[in-house]
Amino acid sequence: FQVTSPYGNSLYDNQNATQGQFAFTTEESGNYVACFWMDGKHEQEGTLSLEWKTGIAAKDWESVAKKEKIEGVELELRKLEGAVEAIHGYLIYMKDKEARMREVSEKTNSRVAWYSVMSLGICVLVSLLQVWHLKRFFLKKKLI
């Protein structure tokens, strides 16, 4: 079993494991790759059960309860407090992301507006040059 981070770093590597639970904690965001394999030496079937938890769901609440000697309602309140903090952090992240996207959108909008004005100016200039050239051409040919 091997887990690789989005940047190619090996976070967890456990070879020759036949059973067990494996956990890792990281601060990097992105797509993680988990590889499971069986070597060809053993010609038997295997069963794999995978539960991938992230964020507040990955916290081990049993160890928190034992460490702080809390139980029941207080433990549930701690879980809810953790969930609220996670939601608050996600909302702040989304607000920052929306601000960046709005900034990009406004820059793109102003660039498109300037491009439109420049295109219109070039079209007017080319049409004036065409009229000037045609007028000169017809005057040379003495058609006007």
Stretch 126-141: mean pLDDT: 95
Percent of the chain with pLDDT over 90: 38
For residue 135, what are its two tokens? 């007028």
Q: For 2-32, write each residue's pLDDT tens digit.
A: 888 888 888 878 777 777 777 777 777 788 8
Q: Is the pLDDT of residue 138 over 90?
A: yes
**So what's the pLDDT on residue 132?**
97
Q: CA-CA distance, 38 to 46, in Å (whole number)?
A: 8
**So what's the pLDDT on residue 30?**
81
Residue 15: CB atoms within 10 Å: 8
Residue 64: CB atoms within 10 Å: 14
Q: For 97-114, write each residue's pLDDT tens digit.
A: 999 999 999 999 999 999
**So what's the pLDDT on residue 114?**
98
| 41 pLDDT tier (thresholds 50, 70, 90) | low
**Which strands make up the sheet holding 2-4, listed edge to edge?**
10-13, 2-4, 33-35
